Amino acid sequence: MIEMKLISKRFGKINPLSIDEYIKFDGYKNLKKALSMEKTEIIEEVQKAYLRGRGGAGFPAAIKMMGLAKEANKDKYIICNADEGEPGNFKDRYLMENDPHQIIEGMIIVAYATGGTKGFIYVRGEYQKSMSLLKWSIDEAKKKGFLGQKIMGSKFNFDIEVRSGAGSYVCGEEFALIESIEGNPGRTRVKPPFPTQVGLYGKPTLINNVETFSTIPTIIEMGGVNFAKIGTPSSTGTKLISLSGNVKNKGVFEIPFGVPIKDVIYKLGGGIEKDRKIKMVQLGGACGPIIPEYMLDMIIDFERFEEFESKTGAGAIIVIDERFDIFTILLKVVRFFQHESCGKCTPCREGHIQLGNLIEKFIERKATMQDIASLESLARVIHQASLCGLGQTSPTAIISSLKYFRDDYIDRVEHPERG
């Protein structure tokens, strides 16, 4: 089975504006179940499920929940990171616009299990429709008693507020996001302490991705052990994939972990437009690795992606056919991150400028073998020395292209006349 619809099961079957339709389709049933469980039992189910963050980093969700639960502070915050700024990713928008109550239900369950007192959904500034739907859904949930005081007749109180960024990519990083909610410029902080200790307004804070929260009700419904049977040992459950580029059938697909990339492209995506040959595929979004066609038998799995010194990212697969030049693609990636850098740390602020200048030499066919060595060295310095995830992942496309497409670099040096 290539597709397995767990968190996307309601897509197209309910009106996202209707809480009654959500309830009719088993909505908030798992919140009621969770409220009857011990708080530690809920966290144990998430731990048994081995749910890893769906925003890109793949950090175990249960560890964050345990970290927040053990904090004694009377104020604890739950933040849903919906700042989906990674080029090539759009699955969080699909979740917000097709099933907003599922996100809210997941946040409430996590808050109950960890002692959370207030929630925020931080939405990308360009997602105006998503924000409107979430605000409407939060108001509807309050009217039905799923949010606010004494939720569903219990002693548990929890409310959610929607906040918006202004189009800054770096605000997808957890501390930059926190700074933005507090009204400060979106720049990261040095870790530790981590958000579960000192987060929003200096209080313990748990931050998860839209898809991660959306998965929580499913785990409560089917149980952690059964959830863990789906996928692979290192990557359990399902993953939403944003498929784009030169494929016939673009869109969001939910698959169990372990499905080969080739199956997503050809069986779900319908293959390449006009049956052209694939030149390369970028995984995870602009910050992800670029791989050649012969690697498309690789399965989608957190552990498998570690060979790229990267994560699975948020689940984007960008297909690029033979008409496109790899250096043109790389320059667009580098200039994007140059523009989006907050400028706080030198490796990221200055490094992307120099990366772009080096890539331009290859485009102009003026590069030397020394430029290949300089490009590789600089990319690794930025990767290792940057403060936050932007600089740590942005050179991944270059590092991977130097590994898998090195002949393209050498050809530009040795045969400049071919241009």
pLDDT digits (tens, 9 = 90+) for 148-175: 999 999 999 999 999 998 888 889 889 9
Range of the domain at 294: 238-321
In this structure, is residue 195 part of a structural domain?
yes
pLDDT digits (tens, 9 = 90+) for 68-94: 999 999 999 999 999 998 899 999 999
Domain boundary among 228, 255, 286: 228
Domain boundary among 321, 346, 366: 321
Instruction: Provide CB contacts within 8 A for 360, sequence distance 6+.
Output: 331
Within this chain, do residues 212 and 122 fall inside the same structural domain, yes or no?
yes
- Count how many domains the chain has: 3
369 in helix, strand or coil? helix
Same domain, yes or no: 92 and 167: yes
Residues of the chain with pLDDT under 70: 1, 307-313, 419
Whether residue 245 sits in one domain with residue 221 = no
Residue 13 covered by a domain: no
**Listed residue (349, 345, 336) closest to 398, CA to CA:** 336
pLDDT for res 217: 98
Are 82 and 124 within 8 A, CB to CB?
yes
pTM > 0.85: yes
| 254 and 211 co-located in one domain | no
- Residue 124 domain flag: yes
Q: What CATH number did the domain enclosing 361 receive?
A: 1.20.1440.230
Residue 125 belongs to some domain of the structure? yes
Same domain, 124 and 159: yes
- Spell out the residues 6+ positions from residue 120 whose beta carbon is closer than 8 angstroms to its own: 77, 78, 79, 80, 160, 161, 162, 163, 181, 200
The reply to whether 14 falls in a domain is: no
Q: Kindly state whether residues 92 and 201 are assigned to the same domain.
A: yes
Position 165 scores a pLDDT of: 84
Instruction: Tell me the residue type at 362.
Output: F
Which of 278, 297, 321 represents a domain boundary (last residue)? 321
Sign of CA dihedral 340, 346, 350, 354: negative
Task: List the strands of the sheet with 118-123, edge to edge.
Answer: 159-164, 118-123, 77-82, 205-209
Whether residue 255 is found in the same domain as residue 357: no
Same-domain pairing of 260 and 311: yes
Residue 276 CB contacts under 8 Å (≥ 6 apart), including other chains: 246, 321, 322, 323
Residue 1: what pLDDT? 63
Note whether residue 1 is domain-resident: no
Read off the CATH number of the domain in which 56 is found. 3.40.50.11540
Q: What pLDDT was estimated at residue 311?
A: 53
Same domain, 73 and 219: yes
